[in-house]
Amino acid sequence: MKNVALALASGGPRGFAFIGAIEELQARGYNITSIAGASAGSLVGGIYAAGGLQQFKEWLFGLDPIKVVTLMDFSLSKNYLVKGQRVINAIKQRVPDVNIEDLPIPFAAVATDLFTGEEVVFREGPLFDAIRASISIPSMFKPVKWKGRTLVDGGMVNTFPLNRVQRTPGDILVGFNVNQIDAAQSKGFRLPKGADNTFASILQRSFGIMNCTIARMGIEMARPDILVDLPFDSYHGVYGYSHAPEIVEKGRELMAAALDQYENKQ
């Protein structure tokens, strides 16, 4: 059995692909010994580390666009659209909270200090406090107040935290990035007519370019033994959140192909 240090990137609903990837690693006999994640990566990685991935998956597969909207506790604030606590509470009903230091495997969640720009890495404390901070997309979710800091999405500073996962001698560093933008392919990509002029689409694309760039830098700093990529131009918006089974299966397929390639070289 080969030990795996697993890094999971930020990426909204594309992060559901991590579920299939983790299941494929387990099915192939790989032993995940540590995880680090940002945003969606912290959500799926933390829930897996807590032993609640199956319960989370079953709940996720039951979501449709209407149920997704009901999970959004919209706010009248000028600074954010959603409070973000309703969805966390729904998940906690299925995956009980636990302190990170009590998890069976080392776990790290990355967040960003909104004012200093510093990376904040959670390695202890309540799991869902760390996840809630890590997924706080600026302008979308209410920032998290923590120890005098104001925290937002970890993808702002470390989209793909390959350098934050705890390593052990002889392990394999596996990374799943869902922010890849291929310049050649993207020249032919078009949003629905008129959508490229909307506030939301331009903001989303801007964050995507930022995350792609930061992820590339992360790969240069800590090159993984196995790298799995899912294009940024996949599964956006409510469509993504209500099509979890499709995304999970895509993650499984991509991880299977990457493992085949790795094993054939051994």
**Residues labelled as active-site residues:** 39, 153
Alpha helices in 135-236 (DSSP H): 155-158, 183-186, 199-221
Contact call for residues 123 and 100 (beta carbons, < 8 A)? yes
Give which of 252, 240, 249 is closest to 64, Cα–Cα: 240
Q: Which two tokens stand for residue 8?
A: 């999971």
Contact by Cβ (8 Å): 252, 20? yes
| Best CA proximity match to 200, nearest among 237, 234, 232 | 237
166 backbone dihedrals φ, ψ, rounded to 5°: -75, 125
Task: For the chain, give the number of residues.
Answer: 266
> What is the number of alpha carbons within 13 Å of residue 235 lying toward its C-beta?
23
Q: How buried is residue 86: exposed, middle or buried, by Cβ count under 10 Å (0-12/13-18/19+)?
A: middle
- Neighbour-count burial of 2, counting CB atoms closer than 10 A to its CB (0-12 exposed, 13-18 middle, 19+ buried): middle
Position 208, amino acid: G
Helical residues (DSSP H) of 137-198, grouped into ranges: 155-158, 183-186
Which pair of structure tokens corresponds to residue 107?
A: 């776990």
